[in-house]
Amino acid sequence: MMELNDLNSVRDALRELGRKQGIDLGDEKAIAKFNDEVPFDSQWFCYYADDWNEELEERLYYFFESMRDYQDAMAKKDIKFASSSFFSAMSLMGSLRSFFSSIEKDMIKLLKGEDKTNDFQWPQFDDE
């Protein structure tokens, strides 16, 4: 069993579930072709060949850098630079939200199993 302790292990678990459903999420060409043929809201959003830990670390680094710039500018009473830095931090927070939202959207697709190419089935539970 794979130990889940970082985002790359989550990525690998999602890829494994995709394989169980007959979908190779790591085949960038196949996924790009699929995404070209379906509406935007039916596409796969994550890049499974990327290093998700590195991507998160980079986004967080720039977010904290912008917040440090904001704090420094406020301490120097440089409101113009503080405003710019704060806006940059806000944009980077949106980038972080988008990163996790993309993972969530792909998890929903895997849970629904609408794109599976085999007979993989999640168990059905009674409403009782």
Structure confidence by residue, pLDDT tens digits, 14-33 = 999 999 999 999 999 999 99
Rounded to 5, what percent of the chain is helix, strand, coil? 65, 0, 35
Q: With 60 as the cut, is the pLDDT of residue 103 above it?
A: yes
pLDDT average, residue stretch 81-94: 98
Q: Are the C-beta atoms of 34 and 116 separated by less than 8 Å?
A: no
Looking at residue 89, its pLDDT comes to 98
pLDDT average, residue stretch 78-107: 97
Residue 107 parent element (H or E): helix 79-112
Query: Taking the CA of residue 15 as centre, how many other CA atoms within 13 Å lie in the half-sphere pointing to its CB?
Result: 19
DSSP label of 118: S
pLDDT average, residue stretch 111-128: 82
Q: Are the C-beta atoms of 46 and 106 separated by less than 8 Å?
A: yes
